[in-house]
Amino acid sequence: MTARLVDVALPLPLFRAFTYAVPDGLRHAVEPGARVVVPFRNRTAIGIVLGASTAVLAEGVVAKDIIDVPDERTAFRPDLLAVGRWMADYYVSPVGMVLRAALPAALGRASRAEPGIKTQRVLRLTQELETLLQRDALFKRAPQQRALYELLESLGGQSAVQHLIERLGCTEGVVKALVKRGVATVVLEPVDRDPFLSRPAPAPKVVTPSDAQRDAIAALKDGAPGDTFLLHGITGSGKTLVYIEFLRHVLHERGQSAIVLVPEIALTPQTVDRFRAVFGDQVAVLHSGLGDGERYDAWRALQRGDKRIAIGARSAVFAPLEKLGAIVVDEEHESTYKQGEAPRYHAREVAIVRAREAGAVVVLGSATPSLESWVNAKSGKYHLLSLPDRVGGGALPKVNIVDLRTEVGAGAPPQVRALRSILSAPLEAALHERLARNEQSLLLLNRRGFANFVTCPDGHVVACPNCAISLTYHRAPERMICHYCQHTETLQVTCGVCGAENMKQRGVGTQQVERLLNERFPSARVSRMDVDTTTGKWAHTEILDRVGRGEVDILLGTQMIAKGLDFPNVTLVGVIDADIGINLPDFRSSERTFQLLSQVAGRAGRGPKGGEVFIQTRTPGHHAVQCAVEHDFLRFVSEELPGRESPPYPPTLRLANVVVSGLDELAVAACAQQAADWLGERIAKMDDAVTLVGPAPCPIERIQNRWRWHLVLKTSRAGSLTRLMRSFLTRFELPAAHEMRVMFDRDPVALL
């Protein structure tokens, strides 16, 4: 009898599946989407079954048997398996790598195919003592045992042993004695590691939707399966209420499930609180800040259907939910939705495809939508919904521009110039005013560390030995760090190039601003929120909780404080330097600047006290700054889109970035030229479907000792680019020397 053959995807950088035989006697069924343990070369590996194999084995070749099927349920439902296949095709990535990226880390280890499940000891009553005489007789000389019995009885007959001991104040011996008497037993029960269970759920707020919110909610309820809606609402317009009311309909009236994506881990606690206030323990959290066990338990709870709303960053789009009815992508414009490693997917695009496969509705929400989403909405590909006003009739904050070129006169002392370049007189006065009124302020500087670089009098900058970038000076602890490879050095006293001793720190980071704030406002409670202060597991939550409780007067931070946060007592927002990033060699630099300024300005005045914003800049006439000052998204679009038409860049057409890297500079340049020649020959036969630009050195030409050259592909035909790059990645031969690699990034958010 011929063995049944199936195709299995393995997490290998190979564009193929592997054929295995299905033996008798496996624990669970071998179905598409199932996780299987298979032999591969001299080891075992975890793979995903794609379906029945059509492979014809050569004479004498016998397919290896699947070793085990560890799960009762398939890891990938049909809709999610289809999404994985689409991702592999669109992003030109091996399907095994794609499917592996969609699973929790705990499910990818062949050495432990069944991840450990946390258990707890539970004391359970086994005998009912109905009369007082029975109890008096049994517990005559054991009052603590009787108290434990009756406590357990009041709790429904069972409870965790540790909880009982803590509540009664007894010892382990009392539990053992009760078991020995035969009236109770101790059993092990699985317990989900949910880090948010210990966080008190806030009471739900009773809010009456505005007319615009009601219209948006009604439109979403009427949406057809697979529809995509762009919810464009100004900051503070109540987009979250629209999400919640729509999901209430999806869960309670349709009996379906939902996914809510947020761009930053920092936003997760506030988002979870808002949804838990309405949906209780139906909410599970998925993001990289969780431990492997916590993430696995949340994944299992969603797969079982115990929880029906998944909230998290981009990887939450793969939540194993059944009957998926809605996917919300909050702040859909954020670049953090783009995965930085293979497979380099964009969670927004994956969400749209998953909704199409599952018959769900997608809601893309933003006050500053990406130009791609805006063009899709205006062309009719997406349905456009609008929330033009702040809830409760609140007004957008007044935005003031501070021109740093004229803020300090040329004749001012150096100390004054240094101070005012960081904290202008109007902004300092506004901070004093808020402190006097017991109101809170938010200050944005999208650059961490103390100083941007260290230089000698002759202009030699202390650079990273591994990357083509300067080292950033950090004050606490004192060191110089490369923010790309994490190389660390002690602060140099003399220049390593010319030997000069008068080393200077240049540029401003959040640590330096924090020190200045503590000097100028000694009584203020200042808190800093950046990568350096949020490395701990609950660091984001602890800082934001302190802000919410009014224990922070001034919150200083990088872009992680610029979006999604809602604190009614924040009445002042200051942007220390709006010019960071505005002139980067990237076609999205103006768009990102406008979005960042608009989003952070929207953190002010979200309560009845109103708000005010100060933007410090040396380019006050730049259209990104001007449009942010006026809260005018439509004007920004009208001024930015023409610049994307000639030369053409997204959304006018589609883009892909091909990066060649290696250990030798000249070899990388030669290889990049060979790649360009290879692609150019094939593009010439494609009726100009694809345009090739380059090759050229990347803007940051060396990272982690690897030299980098890139070439850019432009096209209006997605299929043509897919076929070209699949051919290139499978057929182009890289030189064996210098550890040469090729990276393909489709729809890049930056060309750096």
Assess contact for 352 and 228: CB atoms under 8 A: yes
Helix axes 161-168, 143-154, angle to 10 degrees: 120
Judgement on whether residues 499 and 516 belong to the same structural domain of the protein = no
Q: Closest Cα partner for 247 from 238, 233, 258?
A: 258
Whole-number Å distance between alpha carbons of 534 and 306? 31
Given 616, 643, 670, the domain boundary residue is: 643
Greatest extent of the chain over all pairs of C-alpha atoms, in Å = 97
User: Environment class of residue 328 by beta-carbon count within 10 Å: exposed (0-12), middle (13-18) or buried (19+)?
Assistant: buried
Contact in structure between 138 and 148 (CB atoms under 8 Å): no
Asked which of 112, 135, 164 is the last residue of a domain, the reply is 112
Q: Are residues 716 and 570 in the same domain?
A: no
> Does residue 216 share a domain with residue 82?
no
* Whether residue 552 sits in one domain with residue 465: no
- Residue 83 belongs to a domain with what CATH number? 3.40.1440.60
- Residue 119's pLDDT is 75
Based on the fold, state whether residues 483 and 540 are members of the same structural domain. Answer: no
Q: 532 with 632, same domain?
A: yes
Same domain? 232 vs 373? yes
**Six-digit token string for 169:** 């104040």
Residues 284 and 357 in one domain: yes
Residue 712, domain member (yes or no): yes
What's the pLDDT score for residue 354? 97
Give the three-state DSSP class for 661: strand
Is residue 281 a contact partner of residue 289, using CB atoms and an 8 Å limit?
no
Instruction: Decide if 17 is inside a domain.
Output: yes
Q: Please answer whether residues 610 and 395 qualify as being in contact, where contact means their C-beta atoms are separated by less than 8 angstroms.
A: yes
- For residues 220 and 356, the answer to whether their CB atoms sit within 8 Å is no
Same domain, 270 and 287: yes
Give yes or no: residues 140 and 56 share one domain.
no
Residue 416: inside a domain: yes
Residue with tokens 């880090």: 195
Q: How far is CA 224 from CA 229, 326, 359, in A?
A: 11, 11, 8
b vs e for 558-585, b when ≥16 Cβ sit within 10 Å of the residue's Cβ? Answer: bbbbbbbbebebbbbbbbbbbebbbebe
Sign of the torsion angle spanned by Cα atoms 190, 195, 200, 202: negative
With 0-12 / 13-18 / 19 or more C-beta atoms within 10 angstroms meaning exposed / middle / buried, residue 215 is middle
Per the CB < 8 A criterion, the answer to whether 561 and 570 are in contact is no
Phi and psi angles of residue 638, each rounded to the nearest 5 degrees, phi first: -65, -30
Residue spans of beta strands (DSSP E) within 222-343: 228-233, 257-261, 283-286, 309-312, 324-330
Same domain, yes or no, for 543 and 580? yes
Contact partners, residue 512, CB within 8 Å, separation at least 6: 422, 450, 451, 475
Query: Is 148 within a domain?
Result: yes
**Local mean pLDDT, 10-residue blocks, the chain (752 residues):** 84 93 90 94 93 82 89 93 96 95 87 73 85 81 85 83 83 86 83 68 79 95 96 90 96 96 80 87 82 84 93 93 96 93 94 97 96 95 93 82 80 72 90 94 92 88 92 89 92 82 87 92 93 80 87 92 82 91 86 92 83 92 92 93 89 94 95 95 84 92 95 91 93 90 93 79
Residue 541's nearest CA partner among 183, 225, 289 is 289
According to the model, what pLDDT value does residue 196 have? 66
Here the tokens at position 111 are 């050495």
Question: Looking at the domain assignment, is residue 315 inside a domain?
Answer: yes
Q: For 49, which DSSP code?
A: E
* 372 and 225 belong to one structural domain: yes
Rounded Cα–Cα distance for residues 19 and 712 (Å): 36
Query: Does the residue 634 lie in any domain?
Result: yes
What are the two backbone dihedrals, phi and then psi, of residue 264, each rounded to the nearest 5 degrees?
-135, 145
Contacts of residue 335, defined as CB under 8 A and 6 or more positions apart, other chains included, come to 592, 749, 750
pLDDT at site 93: 95
Is 635 within the bounds of a domain?
yes
How many domains does one find in the chain? 6
Q: Domain limits at 690?
A: 654-746
In this prediction, residue 175 carries a pLDDT of 86
Neighbours of 141 (CB within 10 A): 5
